[in-house]
């Protein structure tokens, strides 16, 4: 009998090679509803898992929760279970004025300021998206069309969401040309590199992270909801190409 993955509670025999990952269990459920032959694989803690078909290809959709440590557990176990391609469908805060809420960013690499990756690789180890997945996401975004702005570039992974007495490094990375900040990409990219699988990330911009640009934070506007729906379909189209 095949042993279940300990935290995801998935039987590896039921896990497709292509997996869409996202933070929010409700978003995972919504993405899974787009699939044909959709079914629930497992639910445990923040990890809600589904499988189905998209464009004839078997695809899983799995939520990983908020933050790199918990997400890393998800990524590691998916790879243990046989996943070969992982695309994260997430949200991020923009650093650049022209990347407005409701737009989309395809991450080519992540600046690793999180604590998780510092504990599994030496300083300077790059956190990069797979070039084939970047290409697939870019082509899928072009084919999707519509009026949503899509940008491609470097993002930042940061552990903290709310600030304390230490200032966030937003201005520094804004000046360096980083496009946006989120909380899990570096973990996904580094773990994928270590395990020899392909991963990428597409992000809906839900506000400005930079204080000079920030307005009242509302990640539930119509523009943001539309961008999340678009990125989900772009990611599904991209992963079905692989």
- pLDDT exceeds 70 at position 4: yes
Which helix (H) or strand (E) element contains residue 86? strand 85-94
Query: Which one of the listed residues 24, 114, 130, 206 is annotated catalytic?
Result: 206
Q: Give the mean model confidence (pLDDT) for residues 62-79.
A: 98
Model confidence band, residue 196 (pLDDT cutoffs 50, 70, 90) = very high
Q: From CA 208, how far away is CA 99, in angstroms rounded?
A: 9
Catalytic residue list contains 218: no
Q: How many CB atoms lie within 10 A of CB 146?
A: 11
Q: What is the pLDDT of residue 145?
A: 86
* Structure-token pair, residue 65: 């929760």
DSSP-derived 3-state class of residue 172: helix
DSSP class of residue 118 equals G
Domains, the chain, in order of start with CATH, read 12-241 (3.40.50.1580)
Residue 199 pLDDT: 98
Rounded-to-integer distance, Cα 155 and Cα 231, Å = 16
What mean pLDDT, rounded, does the chain reach? 96
**Per-residue pLDDT at 224:** 96
pLDDT tens-place string over residues 144-178:
988 999 999 999 999 999 989 999 999 999 999 99
Task: State pTM to two decimals.
Answer: 0.96
Summarised one tens digit per residue, pLDDT across range 124-135 is 999 999 999 999
- pLDDT band, residue 180 (cuts 50/70/90): very high
Q: How many CA atoms lie within 13 A of 198 on its CB side?
A: 15
Nearest-angstrom CA–CA distance, 169 and 179 = 13
The total number of residues written for the chain in this structure: 242
Cβ neighbours of residue 155 under 8 Å, at least 6 residues apart? 92, 105, 107, 109, 110, 111, 178, 179, 180, 181, 182, 185, 201, 203
Residue 16 token pair: 């497709």
Nearest of 178, 157, 238 to residue 202 by alpha carbon: 238
Phi, psi of 132 (to 5 degrees): -70, -35
pLDDT score recorded for residue 113: 97
81: closest CA among 7, 185, 187, 184? 7
């Amino acid at each position: 009998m095949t042993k279940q993955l300990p935290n995801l509670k998935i039987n590896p025999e039921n896990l497709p090679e292509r997996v869409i990952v996202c933070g929010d269990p409700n978003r995972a459920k919504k993405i899974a509803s787009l699939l044909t032959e959709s079914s629930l694989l497992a639910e445990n803690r923040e990890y809600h898992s589904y499988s189905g078909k998209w464009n004839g290809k078997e695809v899983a959709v799995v939520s990983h929760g908020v933050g790199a440590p918990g997400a890393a557990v998800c990524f590691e176990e998916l790879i243990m279970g046989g996943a070969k391609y992982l695309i994260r469908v997430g949200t991020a805060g923009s650093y650049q004025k022209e990347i407005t809420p409701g737009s989309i960013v395809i991450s080519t690499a992540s600046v690793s300021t999180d604590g998780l990756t510092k504990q599994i690789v030496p300083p300077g180890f790059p956190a990069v998206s797979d070039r084939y997945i970047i290409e697939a996401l870019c082509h899928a975004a072009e084919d999707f069309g519509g009026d949503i702005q899509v940008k491609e570039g470097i993002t930042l992974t940061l552990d903290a969401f709310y600030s304390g007495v230490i200032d966030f490094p937003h201005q520094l990375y804004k000046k360096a040309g980083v496009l946006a900040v989120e909380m899990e990409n570096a973990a996904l990219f580094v773990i994928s590199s270590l395990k020899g699988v392909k991963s990428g990330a597409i992000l809906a911009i839900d506000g400005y992270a930079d204080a000079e640009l920030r307005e009242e934070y509302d990640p539930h506007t119509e523009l943001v909801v539309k961008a999340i729906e678009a990125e989900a379909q772009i990611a599904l189209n991209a992963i079905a190409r692989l």
